[in-house]
Structure 1
Amino acid sequence: MISRVLEQLRQFNAREFLSQFISLAFVLCSALVIWKSVSIYTNCQSPIVVVLTGSMIPAFYPGDILFLSLSPEPARLGDIVVYKLEGKEIPIVHRVIRLHNVHNQTNLFEGKEDVNLKMLTKGDNNEYDDRFGIYTKKLQWLHRNHIVGRAKSILPYIGQVTIIMNNYPAVKYVVVGLLILLVLTNKE
């Protein structure tokens, strides 16, 4: 198969190669436009995330894809949020188990946004809340600025591909290389 692909590449003239390259660029640009459109629609910088660990079993399993949205309304007890902490590379998916409002308790019940609202989270499968091992030493509560989005829907197991490619980088390069070759050698 690879020899056939290489033979096809050798037979390309400059015009065919340029045409295929433009097709590849168009596919990549289309994917970027779709991603940005979904980001704007959901008000979420990262509207799709993959669950990487078992901390939320039985709600979510490693490899599940979550679709997120970030609405202006405050978080509620039981919401599943994705948050990102400074100094940590990967966002975390956990459930809000406690809310704390320093100055204005009425806003919690009226559904109004309150900048003083603080949240405590925990993985459903974890023994302790996130203050023990996940939050930084100075951080005891999450604030709104930590929240990336709230889980709105799930696509089970499809994200296993992402986990495999992260655990085995060589697989990622082989898959990407094969996809590029496929696009470049496609005559249609």
Structure 2
Amino acid sequence: MDLFGDLRRMNKRQLYYQVLNFAMIVSSALMIWKGLIVVTGSESPIVVVLSGSMEPAFHRGDLLFLTNFHDDPIRAGEIVVFKVEGRDIPIVHRVIKVHEKGNGNIKFLTKGDNNEVDDRGLYKEGQNWLEKKDVVGRARGFLPYVGMVTIIMNDYPKFKVLMGAYVLLKRES
């Protein structure tokens, strides 16, 4: 479990090789993420459902794939992911009402399938409707429970430490 000892025993060429491999992995992941942003039109093309408010459509831990093409009209019944001013975490809920004005301006109201009331209580104070600018994306597909790892890591920070120790121990053996 002597990580620094392992690093000291490497010659410079091995160390550079390891650093370059790590940099390539990180940059590849970043390029894939940025490519998905461009292709989907969404600032966050993949999100994890964090609550049970959309059950039975989506469950906590489901991984959603989003698109956000601004030319597509928002319709009642569609599932959108939106951000509210003052909240860091986007919300996944269904559009229940849409108001279109003659000038093309659209306002809409959302609600979780498993909630009793609409989302007006979640919006910023004085806001009764969402607009297209609030939308992060629209659900186009999902993988059930794949995001549970993210939820476990956030809910149980000690799990991260245990996983890190496990990886280091496996590497040693």
Segments of structure 2 that go 5 or more residues without pairing to the other structure are none
Aligned length: 170
- Name the residue aligned to 2:108: 119
User: Quick one: distance in 1 between partners of 2:47 and 2:162?
Assistant: 23
Higher relative contact order (CA 8 A, sep 6+): 1
Cα distance change on mapping 1:85 and 1:45 into 2, 3 Å: same
> Structure 1 residue 163 and structure 2 residue 147: aligned?
no
Find the aligned partners of 1:87 and 1:20 in 2 and give their Cα distance.
41
Matches within 5 A, 1:1-188: 2=1, 8-71=6-69, 72-103=71-102, 114=104, 116-131=105-120, 133-172=121-160, 175=163
TM-score (norm. length: structure 1): 0.82
User: Post-superposition shift, 1:173?
Assistant: 5.2
Tell me the secondary structure at the aligned position of residue 127 of structure 1. coil
Coordinate RMSD, CA, aligned: 2.3
Structure 1: state its 5+ residue gaps. 105-113
Q: Any idea what SS the aligned residue of 1:96 has?
A: strand
1:91-140 CA-partner distances (Å, limit 9, x unpaired): 00000000012335xxxxxxxxx2x1101000000000001x21122110
> Which amino acid counterpart does residue 96 of structure 1 have in structure 2?
V
Identical counterparts, % of pairs: 51
Distance 1:86 1:67, change over 3 A: same
* CA displacement, residues 11-61 of structure 1 (integer Å, 9 cap, x when unaligned): 312221111011001000000000000110001110000000000000000
Q: Give the TM-score taking structure 2 as reference length.
A: 0.89
Secondary structure, aligned partner of 2:110: strand
Q: Could you tell me which amino acid in structure 2 is paired with residue 38 of structure 1?
A: L
